[in-house]
Structure 1
Amino acid sequence: MSIMLPATTHLLPGSGHTPRRRTIAIAADTYPSDVNGAAYFTYRLAVGLARRGNTVHVIRPSETGPAHAATDVDGVTVHHVRSRPILLHPTMRFSTPLAARRALGAILDAIGPDVVHAQSHFPIGRSAIRAAVSRHIPVVATNHFMPDNLLHHVRVPNAVSAVVSARAWRDAATVFGRADHVTTPTPLAAEVFARNGFTGAIDAVSCGIDLTRFSPRAAPAHQYRRGFGLPDVPTVLYVGRLDAEKHIDELIRAIGVTATPAQLVVAGTGPDRAALTALAADLGVSERVHFLGFVPDEDLPDLYRAADVFAIAGRAELQSIVTLEAMASGLPVVAADAVALPHLVDDGANGYLFTPGDSDDIAKRLDAVLYSRAETEAMGVHSRQMALEHDDTRSLVRFESIYDRLAPALGGAR
């Protein structure tokens, strides 16, 4: 994040004068350099809390395998738990349940946190919750999980997939049921979790975005396109992983049948890159589909400014940070009518929803946005206004208020 946020302090009960920093342990089974929404959110949460005056520790799988000494990253102390590669996702690693259990208790004892914030029900998050509960440390848990995000990597019959999905939801509900406070990014995500077995209270807290970094362009689009080596034509943008669950193939098929001579710009990396490149060639649209690969975080604001519309076809999004970033950048959105994406699209006002899996419908919606420059700009203004409700400072304040309610003594006798 690029700005310094104002520091906040908390007064010890009864003192009236002595400020005390919160000590927060964030348990994360995924964290940068992993590329996914949960990792990105957790990083921004940790750094944002630290810049607000909190002492923040992140516990994550080691990026290299062996456990090693804690490091300081952007003002956050990061603890690295022994890990192994994930065979179905070679760019990521995980800590085994045994390694996580052995590490978490010792780390929490050394940190002495006021609150533990688990970001998943996988080994590190699960072990953190168990260790915190046994030590009477308050626990906040945030759910970023949907089984679809995992099952796309496993080829199984639909009937088997349904059984695995149901069991995965039950497992998540059981683990998060031990937490003192559970959050999800959106009200729709909360409804999904409740429909799939979680019976406790769920608080919707937006992941939030930095509205000072992501803002509408101040120069003509062609100037930003030139910076990325892109032709100056109507531009549809997708940012994110190149995985099957994101259904980028539908966007490629759609760009081939739009009435508008638009181009699709795909920013990100992932195992489907070769297959998507081949699909574009097979459809004869290679010249209209540009794969940028990994785009550094500092370049993302200008990439959004190079586009005219943001498109996302994923059907397992609990919020979609990249969609919020696009909205904050003044872009209309064309999105799948699935899970939480309708929460971000006021259909006909800041963009359009399309029928999931229907590339012709995607093309129709893209044409509707791009048909009139005035309508495109008006939709972009509406997107920006909607994004203002997701200022990350608001999200940080919300989480701090939750921590304070659960741990009012801030490290005192519990």
Structure 2
Amino acid sequence: MRILITAETYPPDINGSAQFARRLARGMLERGHEVHVAAPMPTSGPSRIMDDAGVTEHRFRSHHAFTHPYFRLCFPWEIVREVARLFDDVRPDVVHVQCHYILGRLVVREAVRRGVRVVGTNHFVPENIEPFLPFPQWFVRGYRKVSWWDIARVYGRCDVITAPTPLAVRTMVDNGVPDRAIAVSNGIQAGDYEAAAGEQIEHPDHPIVLFCGRLAVEKNVDELIEAVALIPREKNVHAEIVGEGEQLDRLVKLAHEHGVADRVHFLGFLTDEQLRTAYLRADVFCQPGTAELQSLVTLEAMSASTPVVLANARALPHLADEGRNGYLFSPGNSGDLATKLQLVLDAPPEQRRAMGERSRDMVSRHSFAKTLDTFERLYTGAES
């Protein structure tokens, strides 16, 4: 097939949606399909076509969204003719859009006009953007309603609608998206994060709580720092925080204010291999975010046989088998988070190993190969 994947955020952006879109493009290419990606230019300048090891990227002129650290917007009057030209040149058999914003809606409109099959996957909830809106709360509440109306309008034109988890599907339907959406996991290549046979991972002489992700407001990393401060100092629990983002300076300051700057380590951006080692080295993985539609980093940590402590919010409860691979904590309650972390860290080594093994077992249902199989069937209309 000739597949056109459309993404409003795509590498070099670092977030789950962008990473999924690129893994999907590479996975479909490896299966012998011709793959094109439509995405905003990551920098200023005119639209251009680039090659990414066989995937053809059609990058459209874009502009920095002034309230967000990296998100870029395409203006419709600048690209509408270029979108039509893209369809003329590529003639896709199927279009797979990843978001409802400007580029996504223009691609959906053009595909529908030409009778091209459209699969729409939603990775978005308004809470992803709300922290970046410098407006009063009444405006933000209105924005949330309008956002869901807009999502329903754009995705309602798709032949197939998907989201990463059943909970994400239910959230969409509850907010007006047609009740025909289905759950398709983002998928994970679990073997990429497992320890190799005989591999020895150096572990420091103190317990490690790991967080990975954008340092954004909705990730609630401040709650993790506060939880570390609540754990008795003699336990010498350290937090390793992987990622970059607009909250970094605030979080560093918070660690100093709580007297744990010596035990909270900001590691910044890591390579894939460095991240894999971080997962394997950690005693427990923590995801305090409350806007997760699946959380790929949690799946990656579970693939590395790591116990988890997750916020009881959005899709995260699907990834915690309470007491068997970890625990859920009440969002906003740093004391509860501290208690749950200690339940894992104070458990005997054999119990922690069993919890990690349970994490690894749970990931098997999120095989990336199964995800590719499902989307191939959806692209051809064999499954709906």
Match of 1:89, SS? coil
The C-alpha deviation readout for 1:337-386, integer Å capped at 9, x for no partner, is 00100011111111100000000000000000111222211110000000
Aligned residue for 1:43? 22
The C-alpha deviation readout for 1:22-62, integer Å capped at 9, x for no partner, is 11000111000001110011010000110111110000101
Aligned residue for 2:321? 346
Match of 1:232, SS? coil
**Which amino acid in structure 2 is aligned with residue 133 of structure 1?**
V
**Which amino acid in structure 1 is aligned with residue 35 of structure 2?**
V
Instruction: Give the share of equivalent positions with the same residue, in percent.
Output: 43
Given the alignment of the two structures, is residue 149 of structure 1 paired with residue 156 of structure 2, yes or no? Answer: no
- Whole-angstrom CA distance in 2 between matches of 1:261 and 1:222: 20
The C-alpha deviation readout for 1:142-192, integer Å capped at 9, x for no partner, is 000100010011244433322211111111011100000000000000001
2:217 paired residue among 238, 241, 244: 244
The C-alpha deviation readout for 1:62-84, integer Å capped at 9, x for no partner, is 11222343211132110110011
2:252 paired residue among 271, 274, 277: 277
Aligned residue for 1:58? 37
TM-score when normalising by structure 1: 0.89
**Which amino acid in structure 1 is aligned with residue 208 of structure 2?**
T
| Alignment of structure 1 residues 5-404 onto 2, 5 Å | 22-216=1-195, 223=202, 225=203, 231-259=204-232, 260-372=235-347, 373-404=349-380
Structure 1 residue 109 displacement after superposition: 1.3
**Which amino acid in structure 2 is aligned with residue 85 of structure 1?**
H
Structure 1 residue 216 displacement after superposition: 4.2
**Which amino acid in structure 1 is aligned with residue 145 of structure 2?**
A
- Whole-angstrom CA distance in 2 between matches of 1:126 and 1:106: 16
The C-alpha deviation readout for 1:295-339, integer Å capped at 9, x for no partner, is 122322111111111001111100000000011110111010001
**Which amino acid in structure 2 is aligned with residue 53 of structure 1?**
G
Stretches of structure 1 that go unaligned for 5 or more consecutive residues are 1-21, 226-230, 408-414
Alignment: residue pair count: 380
Aligned residue for 1:13? none
Q: Quick check: 1:217–1:329 contact (8 Å CA) kept in 2?
A: no
- Whole-angstrom CA distance in 2 between matches of 1:181 and 1:324: 25
Match of 2:138, SS? helix
- Whole-angstrom CA distance in 2 between matches of 1:92 and 1:176: 21
Q: Quick check: 2:201–2:277 contact (8 Å CA) kept in 1?
A: no
Deviates more, 1:257-266 or 1:186-195: 257-266
- Whole-angstrom CA distance in 2 between matches of 1:93 and 1:326: 29
Match of 1:167, SS? helix
Match of 1:316, SS? coil
**Which amino acid in structure 1 is aligned with residue 326 of structure 2?**
G
Match of 1:212, SS? helix
Deviates more, 1:178-187 or 1:105-114: 105-114
Relative to structure 1, the CA distance from residue 311 to residue 219 in structure 2 (aligned partners, 3 Å threshold; closer, same or farther) is farther
Relative to structure 1, the CA distance from residue 220 to residue 400 in structure 2 (aligned partners, 3 Å threshold; closer, same or farther) is closer
TM-score when normalising by structure 2: 0.96
Q: Quick check: 2:39–2:59 contact (8 Å CA) kept in 1?
A: yes
